[in-house]
Structure 1
């Protein structure tokens, strides 16, 4: 667990530069309708869930268990769809 106090200056940020709804439950709830109407991007729903699950797991393991999370610091070639930036 992170000790109390101010946050470090560099924090990961999530930037959404696209207008699709892939960062939602639409891939699970209405994948076919979402693709037909343009609400969803080109990424496959299963791939999207895999990426999201791995990043969320890394975040909680890092912040709650204090485990290293290199995927949050430098990304991984396994997921070229993800662009990490720090402020």
Structure 2
């Protein structure tokens, strides 16, 4: 996170996710959210959001087009997104 802040980067958070929402574990059963292993978001919805934002990032930076999802404001299709400005940790 320090490196992101040092390069004026941004952090994107998806409300309702937890650590294991970023793995395939969330696809095995929706009951995992009741164990606390995943967040409250539907696993397929969370994966769709991640895939959309990652694809938009690479399209913007590799093909130099797109990037509308990365404009510091949630896209109406993805209201679960929160943009957070990364800051340098105090030394």
**Structure 1 residue 39 and structure 2 residue 37: aligned?**
yes
**Structure 1 residue 59 and structure 2 residue 54: aligned?**
no
- Residue 6 of structure 1 corresponds to which residue in structure 2? none
Distance 1:14 1:31 in 2: 26
User: Higher relative CO (CA 8 A, sep ≥ 6), structure 1 or 2?
Assistant: 2
- TM-score with structure 1 setting the length: 0.69
Please state which structure has a larger fraction of its residues in helix. Answer: 2
Question: Shift of the alpha carbon at 1:40?
Answer: 1.1
Distance 1:58 1:24 in 2: 20
Count of aligned pairs: 79
> Structure 2 stretches of 5 or more lacking a match?
1-6, 87-91
> Structure 1 stretches of 5 or more lacking a match?
1-8
- Residue 48 of structure 1 corresponds to which residue in structure 2? 46
Distance 2:69 2:76 in 1: 10
Question: Shift of the alpha carbon at 1:20?
Answer: 4.8
- Residue 75 of structure 2 corresponds to which residue in structure 1? 76
- Cα deviations by residue, 1:1-40 (Å, 9 ceiling, x for unpaired): xxxxxxxx43222458975522322212x33452232211
SS state at 1:79 partner: coil
- TM-score with structure 2 setting the length: 0.66
SS state at 1:83 partner: strand
Could you say what the CA RMSD is over the residues aligned between the two structures, in angstroms?
2.7
